[in-house]
């Protein structure tokens, strides 16, 4: 009986310390930058951890269908279906897209290719 009482006492003490640390990191403003960053991390971590249980049974298809109707997700309007677009590689190796061949710098015009839609 004594060992069971000791176990319960230590368990209660552990959770009390855990609750105290939680309240310290969420409510008390900490001034040193290192502690401030730790507090910001803990708050963000705690919000994300609590948010995991609230989502329920979301599926990938449900998220995609839910986001499909939002404004800004549609592709940008093109300048016209009949006008060809071009792409080329610049000196750094970056792939560049342009609407007109005149927009390609002269040194890359020979390498520019028509973008097939």
Q: Of the candidates 92, 94, 96, 78, which has an alpha carbon nearest to the alpha carbon of residue 113?
A: 96
**How confident is the model at residue 81, as a pLDDT?**
64
Helix (H) or strand (E) segment spanning residue 34:
helix 33-54
**How confident is the model at residue 9, as a pLDDT?**
97
CA distances from 65 to 37, 58, 59, 72, 76 (A): 37, 11, 10, 15, 20
Q: How far apart are CA 64 and CA 37, in angstroms?
A: 34
State whether 60 and 21 are in the same domain. Answer: yes
**How confident is the model at residue 77, as a pLDDT?**
56
In a domain, 77, yes or no: no
Enter the pTM of the model: 0.40
> In degrees, to the nearest 5, what angle opens at C-alpha 102 toward C-alphas 101 and 105?
95
- Domain range holding 106? 85-115
In a domain, 103, yes or no: yes
In a domain, 41, yes or no: yes
State whether 61 and 102 are in the same domain. Answer: no
In a domain, 9, yes or no: yes
State whether 99 and 49 are in the same domain. Answer: no
In a domain, 22, yes or no: yes
State whether 64 and 89 are in the same domain. Answer: no
Q: Along the chain (117 residues), what's the average pLDDT of each consecutive run of 10 residues?
A: 94 97 86 86 89 69 73 55 84 90 90 85
In a domain, 28, yes or no: yes
Q: How many domains does the chain have?
A: 2
**How confident is the model at residue 19, as a pLDDT?**
95
In a domain, 76, yes or no: no
Place of tokens 């015009």: 109
In a domain, 78, yes or no: no
């Amino acid at each position: 009986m004594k060992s069971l009482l000791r176990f319960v006492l230590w368990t209660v003490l552990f959770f009390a310390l855990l609750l105290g640390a939680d309240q310290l990191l969420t409510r008390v403003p900490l001034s040193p930058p290192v502690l401030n960053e730790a507090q910001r991390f803990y708050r963000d971590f705690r919000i994300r951890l609590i948010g995991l249980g609230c989502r329920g049974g979301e599926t990938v298809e449900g998220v995609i269908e839910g986001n499909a109707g939002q404004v800004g997700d549609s592709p940008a309007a093109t300048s016209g279906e009949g006008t060809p677009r071009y792409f080329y590689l610049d000196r750094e190796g970056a792939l560049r897209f342009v609407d007109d061949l005149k927009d390609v710098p002269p040194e890359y015009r020979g390498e520019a290719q028509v973008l097939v839609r």
